[in-house]
C-alpha cells in the first residue's frame, strides 16, 4: 500500500514540475449578467481545499458601479473555504460601463 501512495505522490510531483503548480482549479463558468466582464481574475484554489479534495460551485451576488467596479459581494451558496477565494477574485473583476449600478449573479466552479 505504501508503494502505491508513493507512486501517486511521485506522479503528482512530476506533473507539477512539468506543468507548473495548480494554483487555480477554478473553471470559467457562465456569468449570469447583463453586463460584459471586461477583465477577470481567476480565483486561487485554496491549499486547504486541494488537500481535502473540495470541489463545487460558489454562487455570488455582486453589486457593480456604473464604472464597472465591483463595490460589494455576497455569497449566495457554496463551500465557505471556496467562497472566500471566489470573493477575493471577483473583487478584482472589471465590468463594462453602464448608466447605473447593477446587481449581477456569478457562479465559479472549483475542481475538475
Determine contact, residues 112/45, Cβ cutoff 8 Å: no
Tell me what pLDDT residue 34 has: 79
Number of structural domains in the chain: 1
For 21, phi and psi rounded to 5 degrees? -70, 150
In tens, the pLDDT along 30-62 reads 455 678 999 999 998 888 988 888 899 999 999
Domain range spanning residue 96? 23-110
The answer to whether residue 40 is domain-embedded is yes
The answer to whether residue 6 is domain-embedded is no
Buried b (16+ CB within 10 A) or exposed e, 76-108: eebbebbbebbbebbeebbbeeeeeebebebbb
Region of residue 108 (left: phi > 0; alpha: psi -120 to 50; beta: else): beta
Residue 93 belongs to domain with CATH number: 3.30.2420.10
The answer to whether residue 85 is domain-embedded is yes
Amino acid at each position: 500500500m505504501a508503494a502505491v501512495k508513493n507512486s501517486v505522490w511521485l506522479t503528482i510531483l512530476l506533473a507539477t514540475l512539468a506543468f507548473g503548480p495548480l494554483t487555480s482549479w477554478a473553471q470559467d463558468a457562465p456569468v449570469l449578467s447583463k453586463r460584459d466582464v471586461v477583465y477577470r481574475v481567476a480565483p486561487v484554489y485554496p491549499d486547504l481545499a486541494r488537500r481535502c479534495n473540495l470541489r463545487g460551485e460558489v454562487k455570488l451576488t455582486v453589486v457593480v458601479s456604473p464604472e464597472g467596479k465591483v463595490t460589494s459581494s455576497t455569497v449566495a451558496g457554496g463551500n465557505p473555504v471556496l467562497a472566500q477565494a471566489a470573493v477575493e477574485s471577483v473583487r478584482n473583476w472589471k465590468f463594462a460601463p453602464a448608466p447605473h449600478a447593477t446587481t449581477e449573479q456569478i457562479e465559479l466552479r472549483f475542481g475538475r
